[in-house]
Amino acid sequence: MEQIAWFLAKIDPVLIAPYRWFENPLLGWWVGTFILALWASLFGELTLAVAYRINRRHIAGHYDRTLYYHQQSLKAKQAGDEKAYRGINRMANDAFGKSFFLFMAMGMASLWPAFFAAAWLSERFNDIVFKMPGWAGGLELNFIAPFIVLYIAARIVFNRLRPYIPFLNQASKINRQMEA
């Protein structure tokens, strides 16, 4: 835990800078938090691109096996061999499951910067609450709810821009190849 606190203290001057761009502290908080979400998204996308680069042969192998077994099961079904169809289809489902969970694991690897961002926000803005007007009992949210909304918006931005960013478009290329 001390290493995380040390790391957050070291990057604090870079992370806090966008919060100080505006005189209005509320505007500064929203802009700064959105930029923090963009940075977290960028580092997550870079992590995902590196993971795709390292694992592309492994991914392609799983995909090829899935496609092969699927085609073979359809051939067995067309030939009327129900026993072969079920056996090959089971192998296709197994190969698909491995591919699916590999993609899920790699996708989750892109989220690690958001947790560092949330830890830094906690260090800096833990006492800030947002009062939601019109809610019975006066609903209050801490910093994490707006950060999550801004992080999702930043991920949407990067998802739309990814095909046009040279290093980050590798994952998009692989997805397009697999969809074809």
Kindly give the parts of the chain with pLDDT less than 70.
Answer: 1, 132, 134-138, 167-180
Cα separation values, 16 from 9, 46, 143, 173, Å: 11, 22, 15, 35
Residues 157, 160: Cα–Cα separation, whole Å: 5
pLDDT in tens, 98-125: 878 877 887 788 888 998 888 888 888 8
Retrieve residue 121's tokens.
């926000």
Global pTM value: 0.71
Indicate the residue type of 66.
T
CA dihedral 114, 11, 157, 115 (to 10 degrees): 0
Retrieve residue 88's tokens.
């090959």
Cα separation values, 84 from 78, 105, 112, 116, Å: 11, 32, 43, 50
Q: What is the pLDDT of residue 134?
A: 63
